[in-house]
Amino acid sequence: MAKTQKNGISKKDIIKNVLDRYPEKAQKLAQTMMDAGLNCVGCHASTSESLEEGMLSHGMTPKAIDSLVKEMNKTVGEKVKVKAVAVSEEAAKKIKGLLTDEKKSGWGLKIDVRSGGCGGYQYELSFQKESLDGEIFTESRGIKIFYGMDDAELLSGSEVEYADGPHGEGFRISNPNVKSGCECGH
């Protein structure tokens, strides 16, 4: 098992461990790795490969590895102003209707961020009565919104939207922090 640094990231760190150690920065770190060509962020290799092993297996140079580690440590050290999650007008109407239909007056929308696929994260939406310990509570267009403190930076500036079109209907999270997605089907 590769050792990890307590303060910062080293090229010997296991990819998954880096993301687990910095959950509030995980999405940005995953994006930085994918931008560098390390696309195994969410695949099975991320639980066993170090950053160095992953990059070497992708044909990258030691100089590129050092550059990536430096960029990731810069990301870890950044202080970021977190913006609240918002709800679009159409999504607010739909949420209010669903809460009424389910007889959950006064409840709000719970957003869970889960790791999954090589794109890094998936969102789970559910209804929740009140804020739990370790959660942020905000409100947008009369809708209460709850999410974990660890997810605040990941969701910063995001908007819950609702679409009803030729490809189906449903909610989606428009997240300005996501620069690209994966195509693995997860």
The DSSP string of 148-182 is EGGGHHHHTT-EEEEEEETTEEEEEEE-TT-----
Q: Which pLDDT belongs to residue 116?
A: 63
Residue 123 clears pLDDT 50, i.e. is over it: yes
| Rounded-to-5 percentages of helix, strand, coil across the chain | 35, 25, 40
Tell me: the pLDDT tens digits for 128-153? 999 888 788 999 999 999 998 878 88
Domains of the chain, with CATH numbers?
A: 15-77 (no CATH), 86-174 (2.60.300.12)
- pTM for the predicted model, two decimal places: 0.57
Q: Give me the amino acid identity at 25.
A: K
Q: Which helix (H) or strand (E) holds 124?
A: strand 121-128
**Which residue type sits at 7?**
N
Tens digit of each residue's pLDDT (9 = 90 or more) over 65-114? 999 999 999 988 887 677 889 999 999 999 999 999 999 999 999 999 88
Is the pLDDT at 3 greater than 70, yes or no?
Answer: no
> 100-105: which pairs have CB atoms within 8 A and are 24 or more residues apart?
102/127, 104/129
